[in-house]
Structure 1
């Protein structure tokens, strides 16, 4: 999968930026605050429907303007061209078109462009709480399985409705009669999400183990293990998980009513990242954590390829400076067939890293000043 070109109009600090990209490496360089990351963010937005930096679309509009637009021209592995257009007017819903045809739901965007983002903030996958790890899994799974994205949306809606019911039960005890309906609806959606996460984690863990084995010269073994918020076994099927979840919802009902929200379910899931059987978050050094995230990201690329038969585009946002020479070389060797976008402040250290056609773009104040 290739992003052939990108047009940004009134997006962040870009007034009218038009770029034609190389099929291999695209080095976007310049001083901090000039708009390099905005280019990667726009590509990511075309893949996932969301920014990785903000949840507010209004923040993406150039100061003093009332709308932005993005147009990405995509070429997939079957040599089929596709245009993805995203337009947003202040205080209105995003308008997304694929080949000039509006889509009604953001889920229809998923699968048109696969993108893997790697930035220094990805260390949060290891260092911070379960929200970051769930987000990492959910974004990739949503791209390769649009039905998963739909289930996540349904989960959010049902949880909101069940939580409202929990808050109102004390004032109106008769509402207790309707809780079973919401438990069943929640369990139906949750069981599908749980099965998808369990399968994904097993695949990612296997791929990451192979990558990490090579990266650490067989001195470390990594695993990425799914932790469901209630007890299931590896062999539990959908109906069994559904029934088990309903039982757990019934057990936690009294606590849920007191707290006013649902305390158990996919929104409480986590993932254990272990190196040599020990928690990477608790016992891993900074170097070990960086190596682990690198292995996970390369495994993510391979997983997308395995599931979709297409490589995703890779967005490396100021990540090269975070890696030592050995990790930089390993990363470059691992992405030989992947179109890659790299932001950085200096291009001096790329002489011995890049193989294949490479385009260089200098960004100054939201403008592409030159392409080497």
Structure 2
């Protein structure tokens, strides 16, 4: 799948435009501060409904405007052309596929996208919630049932916390919600366990192939239940239920849930050491890039389709040798790419120059 065209209105600093795109490479070129990152942010927002720069919708609006629209045409699995759009005002987002309004849960994963941006270093050095949010979205792109479990679990967790705070843990309503809390929690654990097991193998292979063939890179799933790898769903459920009983008194005292997959973490280990503490900045960047490539491999494996890939400011990340290796990788994979750069790149594809928010094709 790939994006054929994107149009946007009132998005950030960009001048309203409609841009025809290349099936493979799209280089977004220009000086700093001209709107290059805003352009690929619009591509990312169209595919995901989220910005990779902010959680505040208001920051996406051009100054003094109260509505943003991003619209795109994409080619689907069967080579048919479809449309997708997001219409945003100050209090809601509406999602459309082929001009029909859709729920967000049905919109996510229609056009899969993988991004590589400077902020991604937080996946290694940030707090556990950054990693949970990242993996939640990435797993959801490939598995709709995981996204449904995440959405349902968050609703259940809010009710469970309220019932604990209101001292209603002895009531039947709490028992019902606690059972659902355990059920959806185990669903999330099983999905995470399988995904991390599979992507960790790919992560190590890609890191060795692209950066250091002698290194060993692992991604570990640290579940709040402890070791889960060899446990069946029934055993996980029983262990979760036992932990709920053990923590019940402490939860009543504090007034909120102390356990659940909202407490999980994910750890990168390079050559047996935690990358957060022991890896260099260069190694961290290479780990994250290898992770993104592994995400592509996972999506191909699980959905039999290639995602769109966006990369912000490639020249600041990698030296010439690594940059060449990375570009060759994408050429061989035939993945649609959007790459920003302050310098021209010797690639076959479509070039766009960005000046004062105006994006235009150039030869």
Which TM-score applies when normalising by structure 2? 0.94
SS of 1:51's equivalent? coil
SS of 2:243's equivalent? helix
Does residue 292 of the first structure (1) align with residue 287 of the second (2)? yes
SS of 2:209's equivalent? helix
Distance (Å, rounded) in 1 between the aligned partners of 2:62 and 2:15: 7
Does residue 261 of the first structure (1) align with residue 264 of the second (2)? no
Partner of 1:100: 99
- Are the equivalent residues in 2 in contact too, given 1:48–1:139 (CA < 8 A)? no
Match runs of 1:343-354 below 5 Å = 343-347=340-344, 350-351=345-346, 354=347
Aligned-residue offset at 1:346: 2.3
Aligned-residue offset at 1:310: 0.7
Aligned-residue offset at 1:369: 4.2
- Are the equivalent residues in 2 in contact too, given 1:110–1:144 (CA < 8 A)? no
- Are the equivalent residues in 1 in contact too, given 2:222–2:265 (CA < 8 A)? yes
- Are the equivalent residues in 2 in contact too, given 1:6–1:18 (CA < 8 A)? yes
Q: 1:233 to 1:90 in 2, by over 3 A?
A: closer
Aligned-residue offset at 1:121: 1.2
SS of 2:71's equivalent? strand
In structure 2, which of residues 152, 155, 173 is the aligned counterpart of residue 154 of structure 1? 152
Partner of 1:38: 38
Distance (Å, rounded) in 1 between the aligned partners of 2:321 and 2:255: 51
Q: 1:194 to 1:174 in 2, by over 3 A?
A: closer
Match runs of 1:218-367 below 5 Å = 218-336=213-331, 337-347=334-344, 350-351=345-346, 354=347, 357-367=348-358
SS of 2:299's equivalent? helix
Partner of 1:142: 140
Partner of 2:69: 69
Distance (Å, rounded) in 2 between the aligned partners of 1:14 and 1:291: 31
Partner of 2:54: 54
SS of 2:10's equivalent? strand
Which TM-score applies when normalising by structure 1? 0.92
* Residue correspondences, number: 361
Distance (Å, rounded) in 2 between the aligned partners of 1:217 and 1:51: 32
Q: 1:174 to 1:182 in 2, by over 3 A?
A: closer
Runs (5+) with no aligned partner, structure 1: none
Partner of 1:81: 81
- Are the equivalent residues in 2 in contact too, given 1:159–1:186 (CA < 8 A)? yes
Runs (5+) with no aligned partner, structure 2: none
Partner of 1:166: 164
In structure 2, which of residues 193, 196, 199 is the aligned counterpart of residue 201 of structure 1? 196
Partner of 1:127: 125
- 1:304-360 per-residue CA deviation (whole Å, 9 max, x = no partner) reads 11111111000101243111223212221222211100112222xx12xx2xx3111
Deviation beyond 6 Å, 4+ runs, structure 1: none
Distance (Å, rounded) in 1 between the aligned partners of 2:169 and 2:237: 25
Aligned-residue offset at 1:153: 1.0
Aligned-residue offset at 1:274: 0.7
- Are the equivalent residues in 1 in contact too, given 2:117–2:311 (CA < 8 A)? yes
Moved more, 135-144 or 42-51: 42-51
- 1:272-330 per-residue CA deviation (whole Å, 9 max, x = no partner) reads 21111111111111222122112111111111111111110001012431112232122
Distance (Å, rounded) in 1 between the aligned partners of 2:259 and 2:320: 44
Distance (Å, rounded) in 2 between the aligned partners of 1:181 and 1:106: 27
